[in-house]
Amino acid sequence: MTTNGLRRAYLDFFKNHAHVEIPSASLLPENDPTTLFTGSGMQPILPYLLGELHPSGKRLVDSQKCFRSQDIEEVGDNCHTTFFEMLGNWSLGDYFKTEQVQWFFLFLTDVVKLNPERLYISCFCGQEDIGIPKDKETASLWQTAFKEKGIDAKIIDFVQRDGIQGGHIFYYDASKNWWSRAGKPENMPVGEPGGPDTEVFWDSAPDREEKHLYDKDNIIFGSFCHPNCECGRFFEIGNNVFMQYIKKDKGFVPLEQKNVDFGGGLERIAAAMIDSPDVFKIDLFDTQREVLERMSGKIYGTDKEETRAFRIILDHMRAVTFLIADGAFPSNKDQGYFTRRFIRRAIRYAGILGISDSFCSTVADAVIETYKEVYPNLKEKKDVIMKELEKEETKFKHTINKGTKKFQELVNSMANTKMLSGIDAFDLYQSYGFPIELTVELAKEHGIGVDVETFTIEKEKHQMLSRKGAQKKFYSGLANHSKQCTKYHTATHLFHAACIRILGPDATQKGSNITEERMRFDFVHFGKVTQEQIKELENLVNAAIVRDYLVSFEIMTTDEAKATGAIGLFEKSYNERVKVYTIGDPNESAVADPLSSTFSREFCGGPHVEHTGELGHFKIIKEESVSAGVRRIKAVLE
């Protein structure tokens, strides 16, 4: 079975258990300012886990594109990638632990044909001080599942971390086996839901030697490794989250609607399926890997340093191909910053493989060919992807040339010292995009050293400031369903309808960002929005607020929604059934006119206020250009 076949088998397995298949969301989140990227399969589903009604029902299944920029330093080992697909299935108040454990175990053993002897499980050990018991129920369900395969799965209280001890099921604390948006149970605010999770691990090296370090494919295993250690022998292939409790003033109580949130790494399950500890050996990477081998004359897996370079390029080029297709063009800010950084990092590691010719678009073309049937937007955006990659590769090579000249100036200005300062090395890195490895390499050629320790300190200070800035910029928002964020969300619908009324039918939404302090809304418009138009927009939105329209929703098919005049981004993939919010009379056509009984009708997952009169006074505080043909407004509710 190919990896594409594995994805299809998973989707079909759960569809056969009454789940509805839903499409993957974009890598760029919609209406979620808490993060730059979609980093998990759960992220687009979160409103429904928290109580919103999903238009496709209570049982859902998908394969979600994900990108985690924070994993960049981990890439290069056998199992980490920044881009990946997360297989997901959900129960929104329907089935619970019994069905989920049974189904996923059957999928792994009967469909994927994994040897159950090599599957290991982690469960939550409980936390007595806050009244949450050990998750014995889940451990027992796993034990029963193993028993049906003829395996006596021993349960281990894994307090001492003394190796496997002949067990298959292990208890861990909340740092490993508890899920909530706030982290550990004691960090959860009142009203926050959470619950235990149970993870499934694959043993990639069952023939290890217990009392010695074990080296397989450049991975070192310790004598006391266990499913949750970081030695590389075990890798997680799936996590079942059981949203079971809610935090109250006096502790935790069971939720009335208990949810299941499962996420499984497609690439990792595929690696287990071919019995490889290396996810970069699965067939999704074959064509790209062959391109790099041909261009470099090197063979993947024959040299440790070169293999790491192969992996970084394979991961980064796949990631940027998907990022550009979803609209994250290379730039120096927000999502585009990471696209640019990943392209440049791939170019740097291509140098380790001896690749000096342009290669980015060639590798991206291989990515598109691999995924075009599953993600047709890659083929549709191919010309744009190629253009952006070629432009960025040329630009970076020019940057490297400028950095080399600056390096030479620094060397020429050095007197008796034989050490390039860490400050200068960081300036080369920050101002010229000059990687420290290249600085060290050039310095060695000139017979001088580099103060790498100071460079590292400067880089860490910069990263800390950047993280603080990102946390401030993207903290809060719709993900926390606060009342103020909900108000701003409804205000975006009013403003969207007003734009179409005043600026024309092409003035449609291109993105939004909401915090508790303001709303940001991007829309199509060629030319600056005049002060007169800004005033008209404000007046129209405020007229709708004063009208105190009812805000309601209805679930219908996509075609039915279009027929009602609902606003939707119709180039994106929607579920077969969608939730449509109406501001005004749900039985009348949507007309963006405060004198009509219906002001707005739009595809949306929610949440919203019940009446527009709750919003207050709408005021635009800034209007600016984002890119060619796209304008941005920032507005507040006073």
Q: What is the pLDDT of residue 326?
A: 92
Q: How far apart are CA 359 and CA 357, in angstroms?
A: 6
**Strand 551-557 vs strand 169-172: parallel, antiparallel, or unpaired?**
unpaired
Q: What is the pLDDT of residue 32?
A: 65
Percent of residues in the chain assigned helix, strand, coil, to nearest 5: 45, 25, 35
Q: Residue 134's closest CA among 184, 174, 74?
A: 174
Q: What is the pLDDT of residue 33?
A: 64
Q: What are phi and psi of 163, to 5 degrees?
A: 80, -165
Q: Residue 420's closest CA among 399, 396, 398, 444?
A: 444
Q: What letters, b where the CB count within 10 A reaches 16 and e where it falls short, cover 492-530? A: bbbbbbbbbbbbeeebbbbbbbbbeebbbbbbbbeeebe
Tokens of 479: 């993900």
Q: What is the pLDDT of residue 474?
A: 36
- Cα dihedral sign, 381-387-391-394: positive
- Intervals of the chain under pLDDT 50: 210-219, 469-480, 570-571
Contact (Cβ atoms closer than 8 angstroms) between residue 134 and residue 240: no
Question: Which value, in Å, is the radius of gyration of the alpha carbons in the chain?
Answer: 27
Q: How far apart are CA 275 and CA 206, in angstroms?
A: 11
Contact (Cβ atoms closer than 8 angstroms) between residue 635 and residue 619: yes
Contact (Cβ atoms closer than 8 angstroms) between residue 201 and residue 120: yes
Q: Cis ω on the peptide bond leading into residue 133 (within 30° of 0)?
A: no
Task: List, in order, residues 6 or more apart from 630 with CB less than 8 Å away.
Answer: 510, 522, 523, 524, 525
Question: Which residue carries 């493989």 as its tokens?
Answer: 353
What is the residue-wise DSSP string for 578-616? EEEEEEE-TTS-----TTSSEEEEEE------SBGGGS-
State the DSSP H helix or E strand holding residue 635, giving kind and residue range, or none if neither: strand 630-637
Count the Cβ atoms, other than its own, within 10 Å of residue 586: 18
